[in-house]
Amino acid sequence: SYTTDTKSREENKKTLESLHSLSVDITKIRRLKEWVLLQDVAYVKEVAGILQEMGADETTVANIIERCPEAILHTPAEINSQRALWQLVCQNEKQLIKLIEQFPDSFFTTDYQQNQKANILFFQELGLKNNIITRFLTSAPNIFYNPVEKNKNVIETLQRNYLNLGGSEANMKIWILKLLSQNPFILLNTSTAIQENLEFLQKNDFTDQEVLQLLSKLKGFIFQLNSTTMQKSMLFSKNIFKCSDQELKQLVLKCPALLYYSVPVLEERLEGLLKEGISIAQIRETPTVLELTTQIVQYRIKKLSALGYDIKSGNLESLNGTKKDFEVTYGKIQSKKERPIFNPVAPLHIED
């Protein structure tokens, strides 16, 4: 337990000297986490030694300490344990040091080592590839802090529901692994919340097949919602699009964002589209346009308008998709516009 009371304490001279000898920018640490410099005990040289042993050069070591100053408060034993743990999924130490440099905070959280190890082994048993597990360790480290039983429980709930909804035993493993790799944060939910959300969809007349379809389309985000927000979003869409329950269901299947985004988000995006002269009828025809932020929509409309493409009378499909998808669409419209009406090199058939 480190103290953060900075008033009556002085910076540890030994720590400062050690950091200085490693060319660490101490002003950065003062600005970021000065309390680290006030601790009586720090393991600057030892931590640097372990990182260098793994292949880090002086600049890399300084960079890691500047970005995550509390690294120097961990004992060499803690860091070596963490190193052994991450080596379970890293190809080699070169990859490991690269990850530590990019995500030092994730690596230097050593309080949950037993849970981390149990979860790494569980994910490997489940069939997740090591490169996916390293991605989880760096971008979603808190799923490893859960006791492994909690994560197992969530996975079992998902598997049970998948089969109950008509999914096949043969496809279940692929489905679970895909869901997890798309959104590992589903593990932060409780089994009860997952169950309640699925029941909400069934109560709203989505068939088992449709619920399965939504789960795959939503990449697991549905498990981070609750029935109250979903109900509000659906009611908002029903009023805006003036549609029946059956029509609303079809719109949601076409664009799960109508279920996922809160009313304020949907309102803001709708308003942005209407300001651009787009009609409710057009949005209803292509609801997936609501998955885009207002800024993205404005940027894309501007680009298409420069080509003389009128979005008000055109199809909103041209706005849709990822950045890559849009660039392909834009390129097609551009080349169509630039293509000559006749082929200048073709021979002209003129009668004598």
Contact between residue 210 and residue 165 where contact means Cβ atoms under 8 Å apart: no
> In this predicted model, what pLDDT tens digit does every residue of 231-257 receive, in sequence order?
999 999 999 999 999 999 999 999 988
Q: With a cut of 60, say whether residue 326 has pLDDT above it.
A: yes
Rounded mean pLDDT, 116-134:
95
Q: For residue 75, what are its two tokens?
A: 């004992």
In angstroms, the CA 110 to CA 281 distance is 54
Looking at residue 189, the DSSP 8-state letter turns out to be S
> In this predicted model, what pLDDT tens digit does every residue of 168-221 receive, in sequence order?
898 999 999 988 988 898 898 888 888 888 889 999 989 999 998 888 777 777
Q: For residue 125, what are its two tokens?
A: 């048993």
Helices (H) and strands (E) in the chain, counts: 20, 0
In angstroms, the CA 104 to CA 257 distance is 34
In angstroms, the CA 198 to CA 204 distance is 10
| Domains, in order of start, for the chain | 11-110 (no CATH), 226-338 (1.25.70.10)
Q: For residue 272, what are its two tokens?
A: 């942005």
Per-residue model confidence (pLDDT) at position 347: 53
Q: For residue 184, what are its two tokens?
A: 């590992």
Question: What's the pLDDT band for 339 if we cut at 50, 70, 90?
Answer: low
Q: For residue 336, what are its two tokens?
A: 């169509």
In angstroms, the CA 350 to CA 352 distance is 6
Contact between residue 280 and residue 316 where contact means Cβ atoms under 8 Å apart: no
pTM for this entry: 0.76
Contact between residue 196 and residue 226 where contact means Cβ atoms under 8 Å apart: yes
* Cβ burial, residue 261 (10 Å; 0-12/13-18/19+): buried
